[in-house]
Structure formats: structure tokens, C-alpha cells
Chains A and B, each alone.
Chain A
Amino acid sequence: MSQIHARLEGVSLAYGEKRVLVDCNLDIVQGAITCVIGLSGAGKSTILRLLNGLRRPTAGRVLVAGRDIASLAGRELADFRQQIGFAFQFSALFDSLTVFDNVALPLRETTTLDERAIRGKVETILASVGLTDAAQALPAELSGGMRKRVGFARAVIAQPTMVLYDEPTTGLDPVMTRMLTDTIRSLQQRDQSTVVVVSHDRESIYAMADYIAMIYEGKILAYGSLEQIRASTDPYLLQFLHGNPEGPMHVV
């Protein structure tokens, strides 16, 4: 029986009149990679923000490591977030800081490690994402794939128990996509962390997912292991995975 690290229980969320999630339920298995798939605007990134406490549900509960994250605030929430890494879709690197300083920032600001220990950790993680030579570069000097990897390194530098990746391979070439997929998998295996990846990319999903959840119209439409999802004959799932414009899903 797999242990559950995080859980969405009857979660609804609306931005004004627009309902993004409606009574949504999802289990995130501990120590595994769960990929959340779905059409653009379906609410995939919102799920990541709920899991990090960046958004609060209008109904339901978001449990992470047994705690309702929506009940936390201020310093308590900030401390709790240190257990959750977040790699943003467009990397969200601090453009006035070098690659090294971007990656070191969480350690400098949230731990009592001395500068020598921080240097060692940052150099190790930069080597593991293949960016040793770019340590002193500014984000503006990096390619899209390099920026993504810096974002990954920053997300995992403090060795959080759960890491959230928002569309990590969107807009990249197939070679870089494969490289980033392998990086996510190797970082997860190194830290034995729980990982949630939001993605549209079928090949990278198949290459890294242990579990897949498909979201449609604010609800989890399908959920299962990679094998279960690949064997599914659900017409919605097939339409999405085959990229077919014709089918039961209403594509806007």
C-alpha cells in the first residue's frame, strides 16, 4: 500500500466568477512522481499553487504531510514551505543575482549553514544539473534550458520532501526535453522526494511518471499508475494523449 504524502480533499477554487477547480480530489503518493495532465487552462498549475499554499481553496482541504496547508499563515507557512520545492514554468530566477546566488538563496535565507557549507552544496547541485561552468552567469545570459535547470537546482537545493515542477519542458527542443526529464528523475531518486509535475508533453510524461492524473473541467477525470493510464480506453484520456482535436473534450 503506497503512502500518501499530499491530498486534495473536495477542493474547489474560483477566481471571481471563473471556477477553476470543482470538488477536486487527488492523492499524491510519497516518493513517486505524479504527473498532472490536462488542457491549457484546466487548472493544473493551480493544483501546484494549492499544494504550496500560494493559493487557498474556496472549499475543501489541501493536506501536505498530514497538515492542512490552508490553515497555516505567516512565519508558520513560510517555514512549512521550506519542505516544498517549486520550479516555475518560466524559472522565475532573480535577474540581479548570478546562477550561484540564485541557487544559494534558499540556504542563505532559511538555514544557519555557513558560507563554506553553502558553497559545497551549491557546487554539488550545479554539477548534477550540468551547470558548473555557468555559476557566475546572470540569468539573462542563459538559454531557456539552462534557466530551467537553474530553477530545478534552486527548487531542490534545500532537499525538500516534495518538489513541484510547473511545465518543466514546455517550449524546449526534444533533446533538452529529454535532458530535463532525466534530471527530474535523477534528482527525485537522489532525494527520494515526492514529485508533482504539471506537463503537456506526452513523451516526457511517459518517461518519468509513476502516476498520472488527468484534470478536465476542474475535476480529476482519470487517475492511475503509468501502466493503467497507458492501457486505459477512456475516450477523454485517449483524445488528450493522442492530441486529437475531435473527441468528447470541449477544446476552446
Chain B
Amino acid sequence: MNRRLGFLEAVGASTEGALEEVGGLAVLLGESLGFLLQCRLRLGETFAQAYFLGVGSWSIVILTSLFTGMVFSLESAVQAVQYGVGSLVGGAVAFTSARELGPMLSGVVVAGRASAAIAAELGSMVVTEQIEALDALGISPVRMVVLPRIVALVVMLPLLTILGDVVSIAGGMWLAKQIAHIGYASFLQSARSSVHMSDFLLGLVKAAVFGIIIALVGAYQGLRTKGGAAGVGQSTTRAVVSSIILIFVANFVLSYLLFGYHR
């Protein structure tokens, strides 16, 4: 009986914690949007964050997209040629890259880098009283440090996703030629006939949502930091884990809604 109660208590506590986190994220997003609607965005800081969080992530996005596109092509091209449908490989690679692989890969790798960086920076600002100093000066920490990071990632993650899409398709195309002797023209023709512009654009919408998630979760965990260096480490870990989980959940929901599966 006691063990069952303990289990129920643990489930209750986890649910309460999750709801508290969702509520906190919603409040933070609401405050940020409020400042954005008042046109009180700090442009200089936003450009600096766009460079640090976005431009600084291009190499890992290229590497992960290249190899993922190549491995997807490797698996599909060999099978497709065996069944005599090699002409479909380009479409499969491009379709998957535009809708799923591009935004997801960019989201996850940027989450690992940017969410951790945001949580660590803001967590350090909390433990060194810099956030409290902003409050004491009558300056909103949300406007100063959260909003620029959200806007930076909402702009930069779709751009990184375009880069990831292109590299992933190019990698897949090169490998299909090497492994299954599928010509570039045939690959591109298949890609063009299978993928519409809306697939790319909706993939970019997903990326923008992932950008909000990464910045928001990183900032939320950073601002909740308690204690010293150990607290910053815990916030950083929580930020990465939470943002990646939320990206996967959001990806499913967005795919279901955006690509018309709910109709």
C-alpha cells in the first residue's frame, strides 16, 4: 500500500513540476511577446546573439545534415535500385529533408549548443546577482536578455535549416550517384516532382517554432538557477534535455497539423 502511495506521490510531483514548467514558459513567452509588440527589442544584442547562437552553429548543422542525408540515401538508394525504383530516391531524400530531417536535425543540434549556452549564461548572471541588479535598476531582465535570444533563434534556425536542407540533399545526391549510379539529373528531377515549395516553407515554420522552444527553455532554466556553480550545471543539463524533448513533441504536433494529416 505504502509503495503504491509513494508511486502515486512521485507521479503527482512530476506532473506538478511539468505543469509548473509549462506555466513558467508560457509566462516568459507572454512577457517577451509583450515587449516585442511594444517594439522594445534591443537590436544590437539581438544581432550579437544571432551571430553567437546562429552563425556559430553552421558547421555542426552542415556536418550532421551531410552525413544524415548521405546515410538516408545509402539505405534507400540500394533498396530502391534493387526494386527498380531508383528514380524515386531523389524525391524521398528531398521530401524527408524538407519536412523532417532539416528542421529536426538543425533544431536538435542547435538545442544542444544554444540552449546550454543560454542557460549557462543566464544562470551565471543569476548567481552573480546580475539579474537581480537589472530588477533593482527597474530594467526588465526579460527585455534585456530573454527577448533578444528568442528573436535571434527564430530568425537563425530557419536559415540554418535551409542550409541543412541543401547540404542534406546534396550529400544524398552525391552518395546515390556513387553507390547506386543514380544520375544527378534523375535525382533532381525526382526531387522536383515530389517536393513542393510548401514542404520547404512549412519545414521552416517548424524550425522557427523550435527556435522559440530552444531560447525559451534555455532562458527559463537559466533564470531559475539556484546555488552556485553546481546550480548552473544542473540548469544547463535541464535546459538541453527539456528543449530536445519539447522539440520532438512539437515536431510530431506540427507535422500532424501543418501537413494536413488531421483532415
A residues sitting closer than 8 Å to B (CB atoms) are 52, 54, 77-82, 84, 86, 88-90, 92-95, 105-106, 109-110, 154
Contact = CB atoms under 8 A, between A and B. Distances in A.
B97 to A, nearest CB: 37
A54 B130 contact: no
Contacts of B9: none
A92 B130 contact: yes
Contact of A54 (B128, B136, B139, B144): B136
A195 to B, nearest CB: 15
B11 interface: no
B136 A78 contact: no
Nearest to A84: B136
Interface of B: 125, 128-130, 132-133, 135-140, 144
A106 B139 contact: yes
B137 A81 contact: yes
Contact of B129 (A78, A88, A105): A88
Contacts of B133: 86, 88, 92, 94
B193 to A, nearest CB: 50
Contacts of A81: 135-138
A222 to B, nearest CB: 28
Nearest to A48: B136
B135 A105 contact: no
**9 closest pairs, A vs B, by CB?**
A92-B133, A81-B138, A92-B129, A86-B136, A78-B138, A82-B138, A109-B139, A106-B137, A88-B129
A105 B137 contact: yes
Nearest to B144: A109
B145 to A, nearest CB: 10
11 contacts: A78-B138, A80-B138, A81-B137, A82-B138, A88-B129, A88-B132, A88-B133, A92-B132, A93-B130, A105-B139, A109-B139
Most buried by A among B130, B133, B135: B133
A78 B128 contact: no
Contacts of B129: 88-90, 92
Contacts of A93: 130
Contacts of B144: 109
Contacts of B130: 92-95
Given A88-B129, A92-B129, A52 B136 contact: yes
Contacts of B135: 54, 81
Contacts of B139: 78, 105-106, 109-110
A132 B75 CA distance: 66
Contact of B138 (A79, A88, A94, A154): A79
Nearest to B131: A92
A39 B61 CA distance: 55
A110 B139 CA distance: 7
A119 B139 CA distance: 20
Contacts of B136: 52, 54, 81, 84, 86, 88
A81 B132 CA distance: 12
A173 to B, nearest CB: 23
A93 B132 CA distance: 11
Contact of B128 (A80, A92, A110): A92
Contacts of B140: 78
Contacts of B138: 77-82, 106, 110
A110 to B, nearest CB: 6
Contacts of A52: 136
A52 B125 CA distance: 19
B132 A110 contact: no
A78 B140 CA distance: 8
Contacts of A92: 128-130, 132-133
A215 B133 CA distance: 24
Contacts of A82: 137-138
Nearest to A83: B138
Contacts of A80: 138
A88 B133 CA distance: 8
A110 B93 CA distance: 52
B126 to A, nearest CB: 11
Contacts of A78: 138-140
A105 B136 CA distance: 12
Contacts of A89: 129
B42 to A, nearest CB: 9
A89 to B, nearest CB: 8
Given A78-B139, A92-B130, A109-B137, 14 more contacts: A54-B135, A77-B138, A81-B137, A82-B137, A88-B132, A88-B133, A89-B129, A90-B128, A92-B133, A94-B133, A95-B128, A95-B130, A105-B137, A106-B139
A82 B136 CA distance: 8
A86 B128 contact: no
